[in-house]
Amino acid sequence: MVNTQRNYDAIVIGAGHNGLTNAAFLAKAGLDVLVLEKNPEIGGATISRELHEGWKYSNCSYVCSLFRPEIYQALDLGRHGLEVVPLQGSTTFMQNGDYFGSYHQGPINRREIRRHSKRDADAAVRFNADLMKWCRLIRGFLLRTPPDPASFKMRDAMEFAHLLKQFYKLSESQIYEFIRFFTMSIAEYLEMYFESDVILAHYSGGSIIGTGLGVYSPGTAYVLLHHAMGDVDGNVGSWGFARGGMGSISKAIAGALQAHGGAIRRDAEVAKINVSGGKATGVTLTNGEEVNAKIVISNLDVQRTFTKIMEEKDLPEDVVTKAKNFKIRGSSGKLNIALDGMPSFPALPKGSPLTLGHMHFTDTLERLERAYDDWKDDMWSQDPYVDIVIPTQYDPTMAPPGKHMMSVFVQYCPVEPEGGWTDEKRDAFGATVINQIADYSPDFKDLLLHAEVRTPREIELEVGLTGGNIFQGELTLDQLMFNRPFPGYAQYRGPVKGMYMCSSSTHPGGGVMGAPGANSAREILRDLGKDNTVPEDFGDD
């Protein structure tokens, strides 16, 4: 039982996977930690729920790659029930009835690229090597606190030196290329390598997922990296399924937290962080209950944290302004679908392994850009870009035998269509997506038993992601590294003493990574003079 008289060492607001990770490392260091979650279930955007009897959905996030193996190991998540199985391949279906398949076996993958362009098959070698260069660089920063470029404190100077050294290991021309990479659009970037329309479209998808940018918008090249920098067992760029859905990740972290003596309280929505004498003293719940703690950590995005659960009078003016200006427009929707059987995709040869991977239906850059145009006009894309996976081809725990669950990530969907969201509009959005799938899978509609349709409205209402932004804030250079969430606040410390941030709004950003939670815990333990329980980066070399 939670003792409200008790003064906790730390309260974490939000049981998203980062809040849980943060709390677990604090508990491991011996702190008396309480996590407060507004929902009846933990996990935030890393959750599995049963909405149709017998079927489990990964309601928000659906594939795992970014999650740091260092955290997995340090929190012993395998023994707490987590298992991440690599998924294989990807396909873009074409309007002319053909398809481009990316096979998980090298030789056949190359032959398939050659089927579309001999030149692209060879260019893929250069592309992969170049992408790996930037991945290596960025991976080294994930489990580190970003340095504050304006500070002269010793520790920061050393961090900065580290950053420069990382940089200097690049040749001069590589440094220029890297800077260019951060500012380019994915279309421009890929056109330096590939000529085939479908291949350009296929590789672009990862660059627009979750972002309010189009394939021709500067900055999208980086988003590709954000999706390519993770790994499954050292295979950089691979993605995996968490057995039992993404909720298994949160559950395992919660298991570790509890094993270290931490507590979680569900249905406990925080109304306000209490501040007294310029210091955080605890929280007040929406039911009026007060819970005290020496420090308070927010797992909510920074806009929500600083404009919804903190009072303006408690905060420096610039923080409130920065929080209001934080770019956090949502742009994605999600369908989770229970299927009575495996849908067929007649474009693929019988028995093709390609259904085991990601599936997309957008075969040109132009169609991707058009999808974006609709979003700019506050409409959902009439011809959306979807990322479909059917995890039940691997996972026996998410649907009855022979039945399937399909996860459909949809780009783009507006924060608010003209006149605002209604249930009818939500369903019309769902129908747009379902019709698109049915164009490529004639038996799909007949197999459909239940669908959960989520627009940014549903995502915000349930998970509390402002605007439904899946990354808790746009991943553009002005909001990355030492600019995340804002300059001067990139080291997880809030503007009020004893208040910290641990969410995806902080470095290294969104995705099921655990890194923001872990990095934040490291800073907190340092401030408290406690032994560090947060692991160091394994290092690629």
Partner 1 sequence: MSATQHLDFTQIYHHSPFHDRIEAISQVKSWSAWNGVQTARVFDTVASEYFAARSTTSVMDLTPMEKYRITGPDANEYLNHLVTRDVSKLKPGRVSYVVWCNDEGKVIDDGTIFHLREGEYRLCAAHHQLDWLLLSAEGYDVEIEEETFDIAALSVQGPTSCSVLTAAGIDGLDSLKPFGLIHANLNGFEVCVSRTGFTGDLGYELWCDPEHALAMWDAIFDVKARGLYDVRPLGLEALAMVRVEAGFILPGDDFNPADSTVRAGHDRSPFELGLGWLVNFDKPYFTGKKALLAEKQKPTARQMVKLVVEGNKLPVDSFLFDRKNGKRVGTIKAYTWSPILKANLAFAEIDTKNGVVPQEVWAEIYYSKELEWHSTWAKCSVTDKPFWNPERKSMTPPSAF
User: Site residues (CB under 6 A) for ligand FAD?
Assistant: 13-19, 36-39, 44-46, 60-63, 66, 269-270, 299-300, 309, 332, 334, 409, 459, 463-465, 470-472, 503-504, 510-512
Task: Rank residues 39 and 109 by Cβ distance to ligand FAD and give the closer one.
Answer: 39
Q: Taking Cα atoms as reference points, which of 359, 405, 404 lies closest to residue 385?
A: 359
Task: Rank residues 117 and 494 by Cβ distance to ligand FAD and give the closer one.
Answer: 494
Instruction: Give the Å distances, CA to CA, from 537 to 73, 143, 519.
Output: 11, 6, 11
453: tokens are 């349709």
Among partner 1, ligand FAD, none, what does residue 15 contact (CB within 5–8 Å per kind)?
A: ligand FAD
Helix (H, G, I), strand (E, B) or coil at 90: strand
Task: Rank residues 97 and 402 by Cβ distance to partner 1 and give the closer one.
Answer: 97
Burial of 18 (0-12, 13-18, 19+ CB in 10 A): buried
Task: Rank residues 354 and 524 by Cβ distance to partner 1 and give the closer one.
Answer: 354
Task: Rank residues 111 and 497 by Cβ distance to partner 1 and give the closer one.
Answer: 111
Task: Rank residues 121 and 229 by Cβ distance to ligand FAD and give the closer one.
Answer: 229
Task: Please name the helix (run of DSSP H) or strand (run of DSSP E) that holds residue 440, with its range, or none.
Answer: helix 423-440
Report phi then psi at 460, rounded to 5.
Answer: -65, -45
Among ligand FAD, partner 1, none, what does residue 174 contact (CB within 5–8 Å per kind)?
A: partner 1
Residue given tokens 């406990």 in the structure block: 268
Dist. CA 468–CA 462, nearest whole Å: 10
b/e map 134-160, b = 16+ CB within 10 Å: bbbbbbbbbbbbbbbeeeeeeebeebb
Min CB(49)–ligand FAD separation in Å: 12
Which amino acid is it at 159? Answer: E
Among partner 1, ligand FAD, none, what does residue 119 contact (CB within 5–8 Å per kind)?
A: partner 1
Among ligand FAD, partner 1, none, what does residue 125 contact (CB within 5–8 Å per kind)?
A: partner 1
Among partner 1, ligand FAD, none, what does residue 169 contact (CB within 5–8 Å per kind)?
A: partner 1
- List interacting residues with partner 1 (CB under 8 A): 96-99, 103, 105-108, 110-112, 115, 118-119, 121-123, 125-126, 128-129, 132-133, 136, 169-171, 173-174, 193, 346-347, 349, 351-354, 541
- List all residues 6 or more positions away from 308 whose beta carbon is below 8 Å from its beta carbon: 300
Min CB(512)–ligand FAD separation in Å: 4
Among ligand FAD, partner 1, none, what does residue 105 contact (CB within 5–8 Å per kind)?
A: partner 1
Task: Rank residues 115 and 153 by Cβ distance to partner 1 and give the closer one.
Answer: 115
Among partner 1, ligand FAD, none, what does residue 508 contact (CB within 5–8 Å per kind)?
A: none
- List all residues 6 or more positions away from 102 whose beta carbon is below 8 Å from its beta carbon: 89, 90, 91, 109, 112, 202, 357
Among partner 1, ligand FAD, none, what does residue 507 contact (CB within 5–8 Å per kind)?
A: none
* Nearest residue (beta carbon) to ligand FAD: 16
Min CB(352)–partner 1 separation in Å: 6
Task: Rank residues 215 and 515 by Cβ distance to ligand FAD and give the closer one.
Answer: 515
Instruction: Give the Å distances, CA to CA, from 149 to 96, 146, 172.
Output: 52, 9, 22
Burial of 483 (0-12, 13-18, 19+ CB in 10 A): middle
381: tokens are 């894309």
Dist. CA 248–CA 12, nearest whole Å: 20
Among ligand FAD, partner 1, none, what does residue 471 contact (CB within 5–8 Å per kind)?
A: ligand FAD
Min CB(137)–partner 1 separation in Å: 10
